[in-house]
Amino acid sequence: MPPHRPEITEPCRVRFAPSPTGSLHVGGARTALFNWLIARRTGGRFILRLEDTDRERSTPESEAEILRVLTWMGLDWDEGPYRQSERDDVYADAVERLKASGAVYAAYETDEELEEQRAEARRNKQAPVVRGRREYSDEELARFAEEGRRPVWRFAVPLPGETVIEDMVRGTVTFGHDNIEDFVVVRSDGSPTYNLAAAVDDVEMGITHVIRGEDHISNTPKQMLVMRALGAEPPAYAHIPLILGPDKKRLSKRHGAASVEEFEADGFLAEPLCNSLALLGWSFDGKTERFSLPELVEAFSVGRISKSPSVFDLRKTEVMHGRYLRMMEPEAFTEALVNYLRSTGFIDAHGGEPAVEIVRRSAPAVKGKIARLSEYVNLAGWLFEPLAIEPAAWDVLTADVKHSIQVIGGGLGRLESLPEFTVEAVKDALQDQLHVMGEAARDFLEPQRIAVTGRLVSTGTYESLALLGREEAFSRYRATLARLADIWATA
């Protein structure tokens, strides 16, 4: 691994700076996680900043969702959220200084002219960069004013020259200024662009380390240029590898569950999700994989962040999540399950508080069998509805009607004499009955389970019976027996 890689050891000031244009995706969540981890690890500060300079696409809903998800994940911030849309004066001040020093210039090119400039460069197999005209005659200026043409302000990239990033993950990365165009810093409507706002904010907020996705690396020299023009020294940078979908392209909504919100809705818990996210692009020793959030804080280091992108493996995330659920304290699991089922509306849809009781009682029977909380419904959903035997399960019973009747009847008869109806008592009784009847466990127990749950897949036979309680269990037994008897009679 990239052993002597620089490490952050002093308390740092890091930031997570999403643009509120959608829900928080896995990639962004991991970036937030890494920043948060290193802040907590070093006793530094984690700052939240919303980059909403794109007023068209930024929405308050998205912002609220991002804050909510971050909180859900357990990633609390020490400062902010700052909003770039509320910091116009800060940027205006920076722009004034840039103008005063001649670091930026007004450019009046039309879209067509810019397009032609880039096309021309392409034709010559050159970098498609834009260099605006810096001098205009008074007549031209007057004409533009008359036409209502407003300039954008471009950064005058110094030529010749180069900007070098000493990236904490990738090492030295050099960009020749020939390949950096005179990027726009102020739009024609006077608003700041991302490269200006991000640079100004990182300086102004005293950010010491910028940890962000690799997709930002080509913006970095631009931002460094702005910072230096402002007389500031850029922070340290760590560009982390992208998270890919199965097709090796950057993970996005196209790949299915790509937003944290969806994972949450699918019944994933925050801590194990963070655990999985942390393992994408970072490893501790190549062997240890289970980390609680506090353990991650303890173990995390930027020096062990990988340089190459990683494909997100949903299956592995699920497996790890299942293990986490199995290891939870029973009470914690039950509460998490109840909370989840409340949030999905399952509780309300099944009678409210009485349903909570059923969930609580059945939780132990599903703990250890599910990887995601949403799977509870498949295993125990039948508990909340009247008996309805699904077709495939009915086929099992009717494959040998006579045998089913005998076995189910035998089970019922034995159970009816039970003084108490606990899992243990039911188990002992059924096991005994199975031997008495000389049946194989499978041939005997499967029909019992189907008779009362109606499902091919459900909680275990003994648990299911005990969960239903004597009366309900017997009534279901009898209903199933009656149906089978009908078939037997007509056959």
Site for RNA contains 54 (CB under 7 A):
yes
Give per-residue burial for 351-378: e unless 16+ CB within 10 Å, then b: eeeebeebbebbbebbbebbbbbbbbbe
User: Which one of 135-143, 241-249, 354-362, 400-408 is the stretch in contact with RNA (CB under 7 A)?
Assistant: 241-249
H/E stretch holding 474: helix 470-490
Among 8, 14, 16, 19, the residue binding RNA under the rule CB under 7 A is 19
Q: Which of the ranges 134-142, 261-269, 281-289, 413-421 carries the binding residues for RNA, by CB under 7 A?
A: 281-289
Q: Does residue 253 have an active-site annotation? A: yes
Query: Binding RNA by CB under 7 A: which of 59, 219, 301, 344?
Result: 219
Scan residues 83-112 and list those touching RNA (CB under 7 A). 111
Check binding of 233 to RNA (CB under 7 A): no
By beta-carbon proximity to RNA, the closer residue of 307 and 414 is 307
Sign of CA dihedral 484, 487, 489, 491: negative
Contact at 8 Å (CB) between 151 and 185?
A: no
Among 157, 277, 279, 363, binds RNA (CB under 7 A): 279
Q: Applying CB under 7 A, does 280 fall inside the site for RNA? A: yes
Q: How far apart are CA 197 and CA 82, in angstroms?
A: 12
Identified binder of RNA from the candidate list 64, 319, 332, 436, rule CB under 7 A: 319
What's the CA gap between 203 and 217, in Å, rounded?
17
Is residue 316 involved in binding RNA (CB under 7 A)? yes
Per-residue x/- marks for RNA, 244-263, CB under 7 A?
x---xxx-------------
CA–chain centroid gap for 253, Å, is 11
Beta carbons of 281 and 310 less than 8 angstroms apart: yes
Q: Where are the alpha helices (DSSP H) in 148-292?
A: 194-204, 220-229, 260-265, 270-278
Closer residue to RNA, CB minimum distance, 128 or 409: 128
- Residue 283 binding RNA, by CB under 7 A: yes
126 counts as binding RNA under rule CB under 7 A = yes
Q: How far is CA 203 from CA 286, 371, 452, in A?
A: 36, 44, 67
Please work out the total of residues on this chain that contact RNA, with binding judged by CB under 7 A: 91
Per CB under 7 A, contacts with RNA among 159-218 are 170-171, 173-176, 179, 181, 183-184, 187-189, 193-195, 198, 214-218
First CA to last CA distance, the chain: 71
Q: Is residue 322 a contact point for RNA (CB under 7 A)?
A: yes
Only segment of 17-25, 73-81, 89-97, 476-484 that touches RNA (CB under 7 A): 17-25
What is the footprint of RNA within residues 443-462 (CB under 7 A)?
445-446, 449, 456-462
Q: How big, in percent rounded to 5, are the helix, strand and coil portions of the chain?
A: 55, 10, 35
Q: Which is nearer to RNA, 274 or 379 (CB)?
A: 379
Shortest separation between residue 264's beta carbon and RNA, angstroms: 21
Kindly state the smallest distance separating residue 331's Cβ from RNA, in Å: 19
Place of tokens 């199975």: 434
- Please tell me the distance from the alpha carbon of residue 395 to that of residue 389, in angstroms, as a whole number: 10
Identify which of residues 77 and 444 has a Cβ nearer to RNA in the complex.
Answer: 444
Q: In this complex, which beta carbon is closest to RNA, that of residue 3 or of residue 43?
A: 3
Helices 423-436 and 401-416 pack at an angle, to 10 degrees, of 130
CA 291, 292, 295, 297 torsion-angle sign:
positive
Single out the residue of 188, 369, 209, 228 nearest to residue 302, CA to CA.
209
Which of these ranges, 11-19, 38-46, 68-76, 336-344, lies near RNA under the rule CB under 7 A? 11-19
Among 83, 118, 367, 414, binds RNA (CB under 7 A): 118
- Rounded least distance, CB 211 to RNA, Å: 15
Strands (E), 103-248: 104-107, 152-155, 162-167, 171-176, 184-186, 209-213, 236-240, 243-244
Contact 201, 82 (CB under 8 A): yes
Pick the catalytic residue from 253, 287, 402, 427: 253
Site string for RNA, 368-387 (x = CB under 7 A): xxxx-------x--------
Our CB check for RNA shows the closer of 75 and 465 to be 465
Nearer to RNA, 89 or 112 (CB): 112
Residue whose CB is less far from RNA, 318 or 335: 318
Alpha-carbon distance of 103 to 36, in angstroms, equals 34
Q: Kindly list the catalytic residues.
A: 253
